[in-house]
Structure 1
């Protein structure tokens, strides 16, 4: 498999969106990359595919911007490019939650890395002896393909439904350590900040999401496949493309996007 697929995000205030869009689009076109980059006042979210040389060339140029110098993408391989074109889109949010008071660029949410989470799950508690509960913040069509064993799944149709779902159910997590997770980390970062706003304690995000967990561990405790937002549809526990079909359109009629 010679195609490198990367995903990455960063919450950071951006005030030069049109110029940044043109600069990134031009660079991607010069490198013949395909994929999607989302830009918003709150940050950047990207999904790109190409050869190792093309991807490394893009990341080198992205890191020249001090705002993005610390972005470290998650990687997986495929035989072909899973995108049909290159898009750089301007949006109100890089992940839509419709909760403007939640501003991750003001300070990151507490996080636990993949090896630590695996160890907690192996031993049945965190390092302070608290029960660990996993919370899936993804949409229902994603969790249908796979999730962590015994994770809480609210069966939401879109991330905008998450704030109400967790607010109505927060009492169940009292005295426990709650680790939220999503595909690459972006949704669970906002989710944890929202839960802190609700007064919930001992709440963490899984650093780098499912993709980083599968990259850095042997995949124990994960069941099924992981939905990805490109032509592969999903990857297995070894980050290899699967042959599952694309899920049906969202119930609200909008396209399935990150």
Structure 2
């Protein structure tokens, strides 16, 4: 069985997201759909996977929500279920920036289609900024893109404040995995007085889907927040594995390093956790192995 994976988001006013949670979760469970969906007063965000008819049923439900009629997910296929369970959560923001006055519905940067993005990257008068977290950027990005080296998206406003003067006067182009972080970050920059700001429509995932590898300026792999860990051109799995202790992506060769212990530590986090943490991680790995022996999937 192949699983359809759908990554989606939409900024739209949802006055009572708590009332939407139960029916949405029940529908996902009834249709064999797993993943995570976030609901907030500003909209919906998430990635789900399941049988194609199950995904279609959930998307029909979502498109019936206010402002979501033309919701356009980014699709991929997976041979193994990329999620172990279904979660629908209500949050303050569907992507956390910590800037309550930023409203993407009031105006964002100009969209640039994937087929036109290479010209933006090559333009010497444009500064191209990767809005993702440092561990995502570490395994792949666009040629020449600026890496703010942020640990979380909420760090971006402080980075911009520290770098705005040196970037002033240039066109700013921004990109992220699927587009949602760029919606907020370009709205934020417009609020900071940046007039010429653009972003990659559909994010890296759409670019990798539409732009042939031979014409691509993308280097490396794109981190994704599911069990695929990373994807490359054509959205083919990228071969990375995840350290389940620190949640960072690892190259296959990293698992041969002496610091690596599956599910317990890697070279990134060998000094990050104490002995009690390691014991807890080892117990988790034991339970995963027992579940696998029973033909079940352990919910990490």
> What is the TM-score of this pair, normalised by structure 2?
0.77
Q: Pick from 231, 240, 246 the counterpart of residue 242 of structure 2.
A: 246
CA drift of 1:190 comes to 0.8
- Change in Cα spacing, 1:57 to 1:64, as seen in structure 2 (3 Å) is same
Counterpart position of 1:256: none
Counterpart position of 1:44: 44
Residues of 1 paired with 2:60 and 2:39: CA distance? 19
Q: Pick from 170, 179, 193 the counterpart of residue 173 of structure 2.
A: 179
Q: Which residues of 2 match residues 56-75 of structure 1 at below 5 A?
A: 56-75=56-75
CA drift of 1:236 comes to 1.3
How far does the alpha carbon of each residue in 1:6-46 deviate from its partner, in whole angstroms, 9 at most, with x for none?
Answer: 11111111112122111111111111100000001111002
Residues of 1 paired with 2:109 and 2:170: CA distance? 17
Counterpart position of 1:21: 21
CA drift of 1:106 comes to 3.0
What SS does the corresponding residue of 1:178 show, helix, strand or coil?
strand
Residues of 2 paired with 1:59 and 1:108: CA distance? 25
CA drift of 1:52 comes to 1.8
Q: Which of structures 1 and 2 has the bigger CA Rg?
A: 2
Counterpart position of 1:198: 192
Tell which deviates more after alignment, 234-243 or 40-49: 234-243
- Unaligned residue ranges in structure 1 (runs of 5+): 254-258
Task: Find out whether 1:55 has 2:55 as its counterpart.
Answer: yes
Query: 2:96·2:153 contact (CA, 8 Å) conserved in 1?
Result: yes
Task: Find out whether 1:76 has 2:70 as its counterpart.
Answer: no
CA drift of 1:249 comes to 4.3
Query: 1:3·1:52 contact (CA, 8 Å) conserved in 2?
Result: yes
Report how many residues are paired.
Answer: 247
Higher fraction of helix:
2
Residues of 1 paired with 2:199 and 2:33: CA distance? 30
- Unaligned residue ranges in structure 2 (runs of 5+): 249-268, 274-300
Residues of 2 paired with 1:104 and 1:43: CA distance? 11
Counterpart position of 1:106: 106
CA drift of 1:147 comes to 0.4
Counterpart position of 2:279: none
How far does the alpha carbon of each residue in 1:144-190 deviate from its partner, in whole angstroms, 9 at most, with x for none?
Answer: 11000110001111111100101211233333322111111111111
Counterpart position of 2:298: none
Structure of greater relative contact order (alpha carbons < 8 Å, 6+ residues apart): 1
Tell which deviates more after alignment, 111-120 or 38-47: 111-120
